[in-house]
């Protein structure tokens, strides 16, 4: 299989998508952050000194999704039509799960955007809570599903 981000002289290039047909595309990515019980409780009760951690993480996830092409060199700038970020409390870890859904009608997929959004959202939780717990761990950042485009649909089958 030939790498599409290399030209005939093995130099990096952005893939030319100008001949691709536009289609409706959706990508869903998720990831978790684990932390101490104290950090979890302070975030839930909004007692952290830096403000509302989860609300800020949602905004950061949306911003990260929108800025993906500024962060990942070969990603195309995209006209996203929707970005949604859900936060799930996981008291048994303790920690949180972020899920980002990105949508567009376009010529290239939104998997990298969803994955970047999750990463930035989780990093924001870490940043806003590191004074309480520096041992937090970001885990399992992964694509859950994608639809649309030439490669078709994908849904993660394992947990």
Give just the sign of the alpha carbon dihedral 57, 84, 69, 118.
positive
* 76 annotated binding-site participant: yes
Q: For residue 13, is it within any domain?
A: no
The boundaries of the domain holding residue 90 are: 23-148
Local mean pLDDT, 10-residue blocks, the chain (159 residues) = 72 81 94 98 94 97 97 92 98 97 94 98 97 97 94 87
Q: For residue 76, is it within any domain?
A: yes
**What total number of domains does the chain contain?**
1
Res 124: pLDDT:
98
pTM value surpassing 0.75: yes
Q: Which residues, other chains included, contact 18 with Cβ-Cβ below 8 Å and sequence gap of 6+?
A: 107
**What are the structure tokens assigned to 153, written together?**
């649909």
Supply the residues annotated as catalytic.
127
Q: For residue 64, is it within any domain?
A: yes
Cα 92 → chain centroid: 23
Q: For residue 6, is it within any domain?
A: no
Q: For residue 14, is it within any domain?
A: no
């Amino acid at each position: 299989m030939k790498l599409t981000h290399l030209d005939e002289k093995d130099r990096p290039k952005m893939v030319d998508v100008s001949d691709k047909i536009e289609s409706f595309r959706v990508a869903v990515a998720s990831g978790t952050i684990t932390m101490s019980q104290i950090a979890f409780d302070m975030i839930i009760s909004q007692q952290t000194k830096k403000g509302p951690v989860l609300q800020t993480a949602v905004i950061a996830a949306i911003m990260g999704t929108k800025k993906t092409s500024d962060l990942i060199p070969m990603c195309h700038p995209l006209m996203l039509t929707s970005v949604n970020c859900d936060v799930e409390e996981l008291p048994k870890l303790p920690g949180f799960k972020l899920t980002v859904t990105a949508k567009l009608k376009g010529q290239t997929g939104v998997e990298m955007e969803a994955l970047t959004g999750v990463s930035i959202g989780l990093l924001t939780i870490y940043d806003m809570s590191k004074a309480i717990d520096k041992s937090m761990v970001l885990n399992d950042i992964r694509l859950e599903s994608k639809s649309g485009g030439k490669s078709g649909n994908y849904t993660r089958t394992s947990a």
